[in-house]
Amino acid sequence: MLESCRVSSLDAVFSLCANADDLRGRTGRAVGIVGPNPSANGAQNRAWAEALKALGVDAAYLPLDLAPSPDPSAALARLLAAWEPASGLVGLKVAPPYKEACVALRPDAADGAAKRLGCANTLARRDGRTVSANTDGEGMRLHLEESFGPLAGRAILIVGAGGAATGIVDALAASAGRIVIANRTEAKAAALAAFALRNHPAAKISAVSLAGLGAALAGAEVVVNTTSVGRQGPLEGFSALCPTELSPADNAAASALLLDGLKRPIAFASTLYRPERELLLRQAEERGHRVANGLGMWLYQAAAAAKDLLFPDELATVPVGRVAAALRAALEAQETPRPHAH
C-alpha cells in the first residue's frame, strides 16, 4: 500500500527550494517535481493535474526548484530528509542532475532498472520506506510498441551510447531479437554493449561505429536515435546517421544516401520532440518509412511512474496506455509547449 500522506503544510520541503515564496503555504496531496527549474513548465504541471483528475486521482504536481549546487547529491539529501517523514508529498519526479543521486543516497530503495542503471527518475513512499524506479527506458519500449507493434524478436539499431541509450537498451534487451549500438566513438558503443550483456547475458547486443552504420541500418527493423543530433538548436539541421563534422548540407546528403539504399520499409523513432520532426525523421518519412518522435516516450515514462509508483492504488486497473493518453489529451488542451523530461 502506498503510504497515506498528511494533508498538512509542506513548508519543510519548500524552504529548501529556490521558488519557496511561490510554494509556501500549499497543502494537500501532491507530487514534487525536482530539478533546476521545473517551475518554468507551469502549463505542463497543470496538465498532469488535469490528466490525473480525468482518471479519478486528486493530486497536484508541484515544481521544486533546487538552486544550482556544486554537489547535487547533498542538495537532494537535504530534500529527502525533509520529505521522507510523510510531509504530504506522495512522491518525487526527478530530473537531471539529481537522478544518479537518488540511487546513491538510497541504494536499497532502487528497483531492478534503477539499480542496474544507477539512476532513478521517480521516488515514492510505501509501507514506511522509500522506493525508487527508472521508467525512462520502459517509456521508450511502450512507445515503440504502441507505434510499431510488438518488438519481440525484432532487430533494433540504437544510435548513440549515452545515458538515454543505456536505459533504452536495458529495457529492450529482454525482448529484442538483436540490438546493434552505433556511436561515433565505437569504444563507447562497445562499453555500453558489454554493460548491457552483463545485465542481460542471453541478449544479442553488438556495437559499431558510425562508419559501419550502413550495414547495421540495412539489417534493422527499428531504428532509435538517442542522441541530441537533430534537436532544436545548433544541431537541428543534422541527421544522427552521419557525422556532424560534415556541413549541414553534406550531412543531410549522406543521410539521404543511406536511406535511399534501404530495400524495405523500416521504423524510425527518436528521443527528441523539438522540433516535432527532426531531419532524420523527415527524411525517413519522405521515403515511406514509419516514424515516431520522442513525445510518446516522455508520456509513457511519466504514465508508468504514476501507475506503478505514485498512485498504484487508484490506477491499479487503469492500463498504462490510458494514463499516457490522458496526459496527451491534457497537454493538447493546455496548448502547452512540448514537455521537458523528468
| pLDDT over threshold 70, residue 5 | no
DSSP 135: -
Higher pLDDT, 338 or 173: 173
The mean pLDDT value for 162-169 works out to 97
Confidence of residue 2 (pLDDT cuts 50, 70, 90): very low
Q: How many CA atoms lie within 13 A of 322 on its CB side?
A: 10
DSSP 108: G
Which bin fits 233, alpha (ψ -120 to 50), beta or left (φ > 0)? Answer: left
Query: What is the predicted pLDDT for the residue at 218?
Result: 96
The mean pLDDT value for 110-117 works out to 94
Given the candidates 3.40.50.720, 3.40.605.10, 1.10.3720.10, 2.30.40.10, the CATH classification of the domain at 138-293 is 3.40.50.720
CA angle 116, 121, 125 (to 5 degrees): 100
Residues 172-202 pLDDT 10s: 999 999 999 999 999 999 999 999 999 999 9
* Interhelix angle 42-54/320-334, nearest 10 degrees: 130
Taking the CA atoms of 312, 105, 140 and 36 in sequence, report the sign of the dihedral they define. Answer: positive
The mean pLDDT value for 130-137 works out to 96
The chain-wide mean pLDDT, for the chain, equals 92
Q: Distance between CA atoms of 241 and 256, rounded to whole angstroms?
A: 9
Catalytic residue among 53, 93, 99, 263: 99
Residues 6-49 pLDDT 10s: 434 588 899 999 999 998 888 788 999 999 999 998 888 889 99
Report which residue type is found at 241.
Answer: L
Query: What is the predicted pLDDT for the residue at 205?
Result: 98
Query: What residue segments make up the domains of the chain, in order of their start?
Result: 11-134+309-333, 138-293
Its pTM stands at: 0.92
On the 0-12 / 13-18 / 19+ scale of CB atoms within 10 A, 215 is exposed
The mean pLDDT value for 45-61 works out to 93
Active site residue 263: no
CATH code of the region 11-134+309-333: 3.40.50.10860
Query: What is the predicted pLDDT for the residue at 340?
Result: 57
Taking the CA atoms of 252, 257, 260 and 264 in sequence, report the sign of the dihedral they define. Answer: negative
Query: What is the predicted pLDDT for the residue at 341?
Result: 52
The mean pLDDT value for 79-96 works out to 87
| pLDDT over threshold 50, residue 4 | no
Task: Please check whether residue 204 is in contact with residue 177, taking contact to mean a CB–CB distance below 8 angstroms.
Answer: yes
On the 0-12 / 13-18 / 19+ scale of CB atoms within 10 A, 332 is exposed
Residues 278-336 pLDDT 10s: 999 999 999 999 999 999 999 999 999 999 999 999 999 999 999 999 999 999 998 65
Query: Which range among 123-127, 221-225, 336-340 shows the weakest confidence by mean pLDDT?
Result: 336-340
Confidence of residue 342 (pLDDT cuts 50, 70, 90): low
The mean pLDDT value for 107-125 works out to 95
- What percent of the chain stands above pLDDT 90? 83
* 11-134+309-333 and 138-293 have identical folds: yes
Query: What is the predicted pLDDT for the residue at 145?
Result: 98
Residues 244-287 pLDDT 10s: 999 999 999 999 999 999 999 999 999 999 999 999 999 999 99
